[in-house]
Amino acid sequence: KGLLENKVCIITGGAGPRGIGKAAARLFHEHGAIVVIADLDLDKSREAAADVSSERTMGVVCDVTDKASCEAAAKAVADQYGHIDVLINNAGITQPLKTMEITPENYEQVTDVSLRGMLYMSQAVLPYMVEQKGGAIVNTSSVSAQRGGGIFGGPHYSAAKAGMLGLSKAMAREFGAHNIRVNSVTPGLIQTDITGGKLTDEMKTQILTGIPLNRLGDADDVARGFLFLASELSSYTTGAALDINGGMHM
Ligand code: NAD
């Protein structure tokens, strides 16, 4: 306990009730963090924050695809708490399309949230982290980036998530001298709203044959990976990608 004592941690896309971001918000709160949930809808962000705790949490509105919205969210957090220590780039959407089905709009929607959103939100918090000479950014990529597809994500999702790995390493290189660490996680199949309800028993049995740990992941599995990379437990780790996939890709 106490791995993130008084650290101000922004989690994008944290308002989904069963999502990875929400699980991270709970775990970070248990570890003493001040947790900010930044999602598309202000009321939902506030509700999710209040659901974690009535104290030391904040909900802000943020569309990560909009640079001004990211800057406004970061400023609101800095005005409130005076520092920003951790950014978890967790917002993401997926579309189960095949290559020839992807329209220009589909491409933009999916790459905008994961990849452009990661850049804009990082740009919004980095000035504060540089000023305070330290910080940690964790980016939510996917096993889809490594395998060229998961179960639900289309090729544009794989591309966006692979792009995140490159951007993450480039930022790690650039900001290491500022004592800012930048890492990624590559979750496998995690049971959340993105995947929930879409899996038949037959699909599940088939999927499990490819997962050595013989179970799907849950949001807490990923939250613990975030905690490692956000905290001093990973003090000498930057530019890395942590696989959280039960062994489905190795
Ligand atoms: P989720 O749908 O519960 O969470 C995604 C959240 O992102 C939602 O709350 C949504 O409102 C928010 N969001 C969407 N567009 C946004 C925008 N423009 N600005 C701000 N917020 C926005 O899904 P989840 O499964 O918890 O996914 C979290 C992250 O993990 C995503 O990046 C996803 O791609 C990634 N991931 C999920 C799995 C999985 O199996 N569930 C596997 C690998 C990676």
Distant-in-sequence contacts of 236-240, Cβ < 8 A, 24+ apart: 237/181, 237/183, 238/172, 238/176, 238/181, 238/182, 238/183, 239/168, 239/169, 239/172, 239/173, 239/182, 239/183, 240/183, 240/184
Residue 205 confidence (pLDDT):
87
Is 208 contained in some domain?
Answer: yes
Is 181 contained in some domain?
Answer: yes
Is 23 contained in some domain?
Answer: yes
Is 151 contained in some domain?
Answer: yes
Is 117 contained in some domain?
Answer: yes
* Closest Cα to atom 31 of ligand 1: 92
Contact by Cβ (8 Å): 96, 64:
no
The boundaries of the domain holding residue 66 are 8-243
Closest CA to 29 of 184, 223, 243, 229: 223
- The CATH number of the domain holding residue 182 is 3.40.50.720
Ligand 1 centroid to residue 39 C-alpha, Å: 10
Query: What interface predicted TM-score (ipTM) does this complex get?
Result: 0.99
Tell me, using a 6 A CB cutoff, whether residue 207 lines ligand 1. Answer: no
Tell me, using a 6 A CB cutoff, whether residue 246 lines ligand 1. Answer: no
Just list the catalytic residues: 157
pLDDT tens per residue, the chain (250 residues)?
899 999 999 999 999 988 999 999 999 999 999 999 999 999 999 999 999 999 999 999 999 999 999 999 999 999 999 999 999 999 999 999 999 999 999 999 999 999 999 999 999 999 999 999 999 999 999 999 999 986 778 999 999 999 999 999 999 999 999 999 999 999 999 988 766 666 788 888 888 999 999 999 999 999 999 999 999 999 999 999 999 999 999 9
Is 40 contained in some domain?
Answer: yes
Into how many domains does the chain fold?
Answer: 1
The atom of ligand 1 lying closest to the CA of 153 is 34
Is 174 contained in some domain?
Answer: yes
The atom of ligand 1 lying closest to the CA of 18 is 3
Ligand 1 centroid to residue 240 C-alpha, Å: 21
